Amino acid sequence: MKYYIRTFGCQMNVNDSEKMAGILQSLGYKPAEDWSEADVILVNTCSVREKPDQKVLSALGEFKKVKKNNPSAVIGVCGCLAQRAGYEILQKAPFIDMVFGTTNIHNLPKLLQQAKLGNKAIEILEEIDENENLLNQYPTVRENKYTAYVTVIRGCDKKCTYCIVPYTRGKERSRRIGDILREVQFLVEDGVKEVHLIGQNVTAYGKDLGDVKFWELLVAVANVKGVERIRFTTGHPKDLDEDTIKAMADIPQVCEALHLPIQAGSDRILKAMDRGYTQRDYLQKIELLKKYIPDIALSTDIIVGFPGETYDDYLETVRVLKEVRYDQVFAFKYSPRPGTPAALLTSIAPEEKASRWLSDLINMQKEITFENNLKYQDRVVEVLFEEKKEDGQLVGRTRTNKLVYSYGRDNLLGELVEVKINTVNRFSMEGIILEA
């Protein structure tokens, strides 16, 4: 029996899919090389923007074909879109056998059994499943042997007016430090060198556990023998405090890279988004980061064309872009999400105008990224090689999350290696491995 999982969305969805793969393998299933030979197909969905919604329905239309050759094949939909609109998806694609939400992934064995008996297995919980931590008892099946995601907090208590996540993932629930450390220890013993702590709002970690701080978690993970690198995503600017920034600077394993979403540069739009900070507040956090970690590489999220946004508002975002000089920007046109406060607003920027703003912003960022990369020319950097391409090239990342290609021995995979950069491209670099 074989399974195939298609994942849309963020690192949390990727980690959820890794857990589902672990569940299926514990049930005796093997991964299928192609979906057409699978006995179980799971589509793990995202609902942050409209485009992923459309991709899911398109994928389901294709996966339906598996039932022609294998009528007993089970097709399931899970994740954020399933949590928000599971019954609606079932109406549009009645051939689906299984639908479940974001907090009951641990019930996959039971749901799969129901589906195989010919029943519609549907479980979309309005409340958070108090047994969701049972998911942690299953193994995680990772494609990357040397870096691993570790979920430390689920859900989000922020109420950004454009965001569907609090409705699909629920309130913030932090995992106990002991449980996290046991998972990290297991990963290290399995060969993992880089641990990536993830959550919808990872810097809010511990608020629901009493007097536990996120920086304390960073220290605890760093003290696990064998952890060589630590990253974390995604934090909210409001929850990033000076103690955390100091810890980032002081802990050798914490990489000099941070994703800190601003979403918009205009105070008026930030207030309409209910982000809880001003442009000045955000830039003060950036100033602190650069003070303690001068070589830090920064990335961000930006929404263009939010309801009510004017050209002057857009120029405030451009101002932040030029001042911070991000290494990477994930920019998108505003996409109304059903059920969010912003979806009720009607003054959305015309499609053509928003598209032009987005295009201009992306082009500006391309130049900034390239200029930032040029600073690496002829520098020696530490690279963790994670993959080997068919042409023999090794692929890895610097501590600042720059993609590096080089040629070297296979036994350098999973190793931290010094590389001298000799070619700088817009989105990657090439270098020569320095060996003793």
Judgement on whether residues 85 and 185 belong to the same structural domain of the protein = no
pLDDT band at residue 351 under the 50/70/90 scheme: confident
Q: What's the domain range around 303?
A: 132-374
Judgement on whether residues 357 and 427 belong to the same structural domain of the protein = no
Judgement on whether residues 61 and 164 belong to the same structural domain of the protein = no
Structure-derived torsion over alpha carbons of residues 376, 380, 383, 385, reported in degrees to the nearest 10: 100
Judgement on whether residues 362 and 329 belong to the same structural domain of the protein = yes
Q: Residue holding tokens 């810097």?
A: 203
Helix (H) or strand (E) holding 204: none
Q: What is the pLDDT of residue 349?
A: 77
The answer to pTM > 0.95 is: no
Q: What is the pLDDT of residue 317?
A: 98
Residue 370 pLDDT exceeds 80: yes
pLDDT tens per residue, range 215-270 = 999 999 999 999 999 999 999 999 999 999 999 999 999 999 999 999 999 999 99
Percentage, residues of the chain above pLDDT 70: 100
Residue 4 pLDDT exceeds 60: yes
Distance from C-alpha of 160 to C-alpha of 40, rounded to nearest angstrom: 36
Among residues 91, 123, 155, the one where a domain terminates is 123
Quote the strand ranges of 116-184, DSSP E.
Answer: 121-123, 147-151, 153-154, 173-174
Q: What is the pLDDT of residue 435?
A: 74
Mean confidence (pLDDT) of the chain: 94
CA 53 to chain centre: 17
Residue 201 pLDDT exceeds 80: yes
Contacts of the segment 50-58: beta carbons below 8 A, 24+ positions apart? 50/335, 50/336, 50/337, 51/335, 52/8, 52/9, 52/81, 53/81, 55/8, 56/8, 56/81, 56/89, 57/89, 57/92, 57/93
In contact, 18 and 142? CB cutoff 8 Å: yes
Residue 34 pLDDT exceeds 60: yes
pLDDT band at residue 125 under the 50/70/90 scheme: confident
SS3 18: helix
Task: Name the nearest CA neighbour of 245 among 256, 234, 229.
Answer: 256
In contact, 270 and 306? CB cutoff 8 Å: no
Among residues 328, 348, 374, the one where a domain terminates is 374
Residue 206 pLDDT exceeds 80: yes
Cβ neighbours of residue 109 closer than 8 Å, sequence gap 6 or more: 23, 27
Judgement on whether residues 143 and 237 belong to the same structural domain of the protein = yes
For the residues of 42-58, what is the DSSP string, one character each?
EEEE--SSHHHHHHHHH
Q: Mean pLDDT over residues 82-97, rounded?
A: 92
CATH number at residue 84: 3.40.50.12160
Q: What is the pLDDT of residue 273?
A: 97
Q: Give the torsion sign (CA, 190, 194, 200, 206).
A: positive
pLDDT tens per residue, range 142-175 = 989 999 999 999 999 999 999 999 999 999 999 9
**Which residues pair with residue 259 across a beta bridge?**
299
In contact, 66 and 35? CB cutoff 8 Å: yes
The count of structural domains within the chain is 3
Q: Mean pLDDT over residues 399-427, rounded?
A: 93
Q: What is the pLDDT of residue 134?
A: 87
